[in-house]
Amino acid sequence: MRPRDRWVVATALALWGTAAAPAGAQQPVVLQFRPEFGRTIRTLTEQRTTTTLTGFPAVPDGAVFEDEHRISATQRITRLEEGGAVVEVTVDSLWGRVREGGDAWRDLQDTSLVGATARAVVSPRFAIVGIRSTGARDGEVLQSLGASVAGLGFAFPETALRAGESFETGGRLRARVVSDSATGIPVDDVVFGELALTLDSAVTTGDDELSYLHFRGALTPRTSAAAGEGGDIVTAFTGAFAGRLVWSAAWGAFVSGALHVRVDGRIHTQGPRGAVEATATWDRTVLHQVRP
């Protein structure tokens, strides 16, 4: 087994096994972001997607495409202010590859985000209350703050939580779905799901407190229409998601996370050659971890 695969398996087993432990009688937990000035955190996030297509004119029914992406980022606390901490996030490396069916893997060369830096003011509730940088892709860079799960509207509750209690975060899970134009029907859209978290348990270890949380929900159904070179395209998306997160009070970060999301798409095209009905499924796993 390759080192990268060992990391994936170890992360998933550790996260799901520990988080599933019974909560028992516990004191209420206040989830807060109270970082130290100068603190640096490095994260590693891996995403794997399997796309299955039926009815697409340029590929056989049931064609399967796989893609893998891995992104490393560094988070630094550059300033402490009355309203929160100024966090600087930099993308250190980006790696990806794709393949169709059982074909050989092909490396992706997109490194446009590598070296990109975004700066945001993050409140004690872990809410982004201001963005100090002006990059066109600041939102993408800052996604690593929420383990690539919590949207930019995310915030912890103001009150303490007991094991078993849930709260609305205000953030939205974001899933981008794509099919290449070589399939005969290009698709590139984004679907969202409202993110609520449930506290499973909290464990004190030395000078740290780890809070184990889980979430699940349905994606908001979305329909969109676009005019393409080959005719009009109407897409309708539905889906669901589930996952777990581990919050570290000492690190002031989600130190581990796992997400599974499935998006089902129905595509109708109307062009010179008549109407085409197609379906697509995107099945995605995201694993996130803080690195030593």
Q: What is the mean pLDDT of the chain?
A: 89
Q: Residue 108 is encoded by which pair of tokens?
A: 């992706």
Answer yes or no: is 110 within a domain.
yes
Give the pLDDT mean for 114-118. 94
What is the domain range of residue 287? Answer: 3-15+27-291
CA–CA distance, 33 with 251 (Å, rounded to integer)? 9
Answer yes or no: is 261 within a domain.
yes
Residue 189 has pLDDT above 80, yes or no: yes
Answer yes or no: is 20 within a domain.
no
Answer yes or no: is 138 within a domain.
yes
Residue 129 has pLDDT above 90, yes or no: yes
Answer yes or no: is 111 within a domain.
yes
pLDDT at 229: 67
Q: List pLDDT tens digits, range 6-50.
A: 443 344 444 444 444 444 456 899 999 999 999 999 999 999 999
Closest of 231, 237, 209 to residue 57, by C-alpha: 231
Among 69-73, 141-145, 208-212, the least confident range: 141-145
Answer yes or no: is 257 within a domain.
yes
Give the pLDDT mean for 153-162. 95
CA–CA distance, 222 with 190 (Å, rounded to integer)? 9
CA–CA distance, 249 with 86 (Å, rounded to integer)? 17
236: CATH: 2.30.230
Answer yes or no: is 22 within a domain.
no
Residue 54 has pLDDT above 90, yes or no: yes
Answer yes or no: is 250 within a domain.
yes
pLDDT at 6: 40
Residue 133 has pLDDT above 80, yes or no: yes
pLDDT at 135: 87
Number of domains in the chain: 1
